[in-house]
Amino acid sequence: MDLSPYETDNSVSCRLASQIPDVCRTEDCCLGIDEAGRGPVLGPMVYGICFCPVSKKPQLKASKVADSKTLTEAERENLFQTLDKAKSYIGWAVQILSPNTISTSMLQRTKYNLNALSHDTAIGLVQYALDSGVQLTEVFVDTVGPAEKYQEKLSKLFPGIEVTVRPKADSLFPVVSAASICAKVARDRVVKGWNFPEDLEEVDADYGSGYPSDPKTKAWLLKYLDPVFGYPQFVRFSWSTAQTLMDSKGVTVHWDDDDEDGEKAAQRQNNRSMLAYFSASAGGNNQNATHQTHRFFTERRLKSLDTL
List interacting residues with another protein (CB under 8 A).
115, 145-146, 228, 243, 247, 252, 254-256, 258-260, 268-269, 280, 283-284, 291, 293-297, 300-308
DSSP state of 272: P
Give the nearest distance from C-beta 185 to another protein in angstroms.
26
Q: Which is nearer to another protein, 160 or 262 (CB)?
A: 262
Q: At what angle do helices 114-131 and 147-157 cross, to 10 degrees?
A: 40
| Beta carbon of residue 247, minimum distance to another protein (angstroms, whole number) | 6
Q: Element (H or E) spanning 5, and its range?
A: helix 4-8
- Helix (H) / strand (E) element for 94: namely strand 91-97
What minimum distance in Å lies between the beta carbon of 270 and another protein?
A: 10
Cβ 69 to another protein, closest distance in Å?
Answer: 18
**Residue 21 or 37 having the CB closest to another protein:** 37
Alpha helices in 44-159 (DSSP H): 57-62, 73-85, 99-107, 114-131, 147-157
Nearer to another protein by Cβ, of 79 and 97: the residue is 97
**Helix residue spans in 158-290 (DSSP H):** 169-172, 174-192, 215-223, 240-249, 262-268, 280-289
**Distance between CA 90 and CA 29 in Å, rounded?**
10
If we measure between CA atoms, which residue out of 7, 73, 67 comes closest to residue 209?
73
Minimum distance of another protein from residue 111's CB (angstroms): 9
131/258 with CB nearer another protein: 258
Closest CB to another protein among residues 115, 273 = 115
